[in-house]
Chain A
Amino acid sequence: MRTAPPSNISWNPAARAARLNAGLAVGLVAVLGLSLWIGWVPIAPDELGAIVRAWLGNGADDDIRGKALVFGLVRIPRALLTILVGMGLSAAGAVYQGLFRNPLVSPDILGVSAGATFGAALGLLVAGSSWLVVQSLAFAFGLAAVGMALLIARVVAVRPMLVLVLAGLVVLSVFNSSITLLKYLSDPYNELPAIVFWMMGSMSRGQWGDLFIAAPIMGGSLILIHLMRYKLNILSLGDLQARSLGLNPMVYRLVFIFLGSMVVSVSVAVCGQVCWIGLVIPHIARTLVGPNHEQMLPVAVLSGGIFLLLADTAARSLTMAELPISVVTAFIGAPLFAYLLYRNRGSGWS
């Protein structure tokens, strides 16, 4: 009410976000180039022409043909899939943090990842080696876990968000125990290592086939989330405020939870659990352009793609054996998160 002195930091988040997004898009392309170039099979830039000719079927020596295979069948699909997963997990993180009105929420809160991991473990035990079955089960159980959490919350039907968090906790612990049970029952020489390695998460399984299935689902969900992103501002005020402003929170919440869960299920199905992205990247975006989802979400999506691609490139080229990607994301993400908490102390989070 007191007319306060004009704020000395007067900045326009929209303009800032536009500049930043342009920069991030350029950065993403640069990191993509870097990631395609780096690796244990060295590919010199001047060999690129020969590789393209080899793809087109023009005669080339065995060395170039081998490199063309590495480039076309391994590095490109893997890099694209990594970008997509990074983008998807950051977007899902931003969505869940907005919905649950809590900047410390990760996309696992409703049990998506646990459900998907359980599905994958089940597939590894029952169906043997068919990746499609494993991935389909992961996807299906990821969505089923969220569905269960929503159903429990619906039956309880009071204090929707609080109950939803608790219901998510129930589902999460049931699936985590089930995973433990599956591990216990599995053959310790073949199946157990398969489950454990699968859970560690890796982009190394990424192939064109995965990309063709994942890209439409993830891309479609990302586009819808992007188009609806403003409503996250309203939902983050809580149900009563949202209704008073004329928004039906139930409908939007269900749509957002569905889209977020699709994205997370697909990414767990493709590459196992990748931690920290969904938690840290939205934070980084918020420190860069403020909490308004209109600006923050695109920044989070682009940074997520860059972050995961960098992490994956490091994971596969730092050591002789490939590191699990979650190890890399956690080693970078956890200290970064601690630093952000320190920097944002007293910024008005309650």
Chain B
Amino acid sequence: MSLVCRHLHFAYNGNPVLTDVNLEIGRGEFCALLGRNGSGKTTLIYCLAGLLRPQRGTVAIDALDLLRTPRATVARQVSLVPQEHTAIFPFRVIDVVVMGRTAALGFLQRPGPDDYREARRVLAELEAEPLAERNFNRISGGERRIALLARAILQAQDTLLLDEPTNHLDFNNQYRLLEIIKGLCEKKGTRVVASLHDPNLAARFADTVVMLCEGRVLAGGKAGLVMTAPMVSRLYETAARRVETQDGLAFFIPCHPGGQSSVPETGDARQNRWT
């Protein structure tokens, strides 16, 4: 039971974004995608969801080829929490969550009372039941994120893809959300792939880490092995050091915040870009 992606190549209009990406993520595994802005994290997540069609390569969960299977079948296995989402129409949160049942509905079918009951149960599990009746467009960014997570959990619990799930979340809510997701991995065997911007969150929560640099896998493997000061420094192109607290938690801190790597590894044009 592994999500396997082999020799993945993806280009937008001829500009390569992903080059020869190979991944294998087992059940119940929390995999964090790290990389600078524009390194291809979002594109990789959309490829893994089968929503973008790579020019070359395969994405499959065991025998299920995610690129050639009908969407409804894929969506019952793989759910996605997108980075930004507002609806055009001011739906209630519960209506947004129930949309997770779409893949299970037939051509003329509509969600019934059971689907709404399930949706409320998932919201309750996430301690977000009071949101149910509120206008999705008027709740806070963090509440929206929770509602979308509820929708994704209702949709599929085999594989959960999260595109920068901690965006717009406050200091504590980042931890709360990741604790919940970690709980899904441990209790329900959900496979999680999440792109994160904070290497400290990755070091704390992820089982495995994949470092993306300019669309290539710079390093990948057990978090404990990959998350070293030299690798983090290389990934973000700025010197970083690893600090351990007394209770053994590791944190990465940039040596020259906002500055560039003391030893440029590749061409200078890439230094300190914002892309």
The answer to whether B140 touches A241 (Cβ under 8 A) is no
For B191-216 the 0/1 string (1 means CB < 8 A from A) is: 00000000000000000000000000
Task: Give Cα distance in the complex from A199 to B107, angstroms.
Answer: 38
Task: Give Cα distance in the complex from A230 to B107, angstroms.
Answer: 10
Chain A facing B: main interface SS: loop
The answer to whether B71 touches A241 (Cβ under 8 A) is no
- Asked if B269 CB lies within 8 Å of chain A CBs, one says no
- Asked if A101 CB lies within 8 Å of chain B CBs, one says yes
Closest B residue by C-beta to A6: B130
B residues in contact with A243, CB < 8 Å: 51, 71
For A224-255 the 0/1 string (1 means CB < 8 A from B) is: 00011110011011001111111110000000
The answer to whether B92 touches A246 (Cβ under 8 A) is no
Query: Which of A233, A240, A247 meets B72, CB within 8 Å?
Result: A247
Task: Give Cα distance in the complex from A292 to B95, angstroms.
Answer: 8
The answer to whether A1 touches B108 (Cβ under 8 A) is no
The answer to whether A347 touches B103 (Cβ under 8 A) is no
For B93-116 the 0/1 string (1 means CB < 8 A from A) is: 001000110111101111100000
Q: Pick the most buried of A6, A103, A244, A292: most chain B CB atoms within 10 A of its CB.
A: A244
The answer to whether A5 touches B130 (Cβ under 8 A) is yes
Q: Interface stretch among B18-26, B75-83, B222-230?
A: B75-83
**Chain B proximity of A318: nearest CB distance (Å):** 36
The answer to whether B90 touches A2 (Cβ under 8 A) is no
- Asked if B31 CB lies within 8 Å of chain A CBs, one says no
- Asked if B167 CB lies within 8 Å of chain A CBs, one says no
Closest A residue by C-beta to B139: A4
B residues in contact with A245, CB < 8 Å: 75, 99-100, 102-103, 155
The answer to whether A244 touches B87 (Cβ under 8 A) is no
Closest 7 CB pairs of A and B: A246-B75, A246-B103, A348-B137, A291-B89, A1-B142, A230-B110, A348-B90
Selected A-B contacts with CB under 8 Å, 21 pairs? A1-B142, A1-B170, A1-B177, A2-B140, A4-B130, A98-B89, A230-B111, A233-B99, A234-B102, A236-B87, A237-B99, A242-B102, A244-B51, A244-B82, A245-B102, A245-B103, A247-B72, A290-B91, A291-B90, A350-B86, A350-B137
Chain B contacts to A: CB under 8 angstroms: 49, 51, 70-76, 79-80, 82, 85-92, 95, 99-100, 102-105, 107-111, 127-128, 130-131, 133-140, 142-143, 145-146, 155, 169-170, 173, 176-177
**Given contact pairs A230-B105, A348-B135, A348-B137, a sample of 13 additional A-B residue pairs in the complex whose CB atoms are under 8 Å apart:** A2-B173, A4-B131, A4-B143, A6-B130, A7-B130, A11-B133, A13-B92, A101-B88, A233-B91, A246-B102, A292-B91, A347-B135, A348-B138
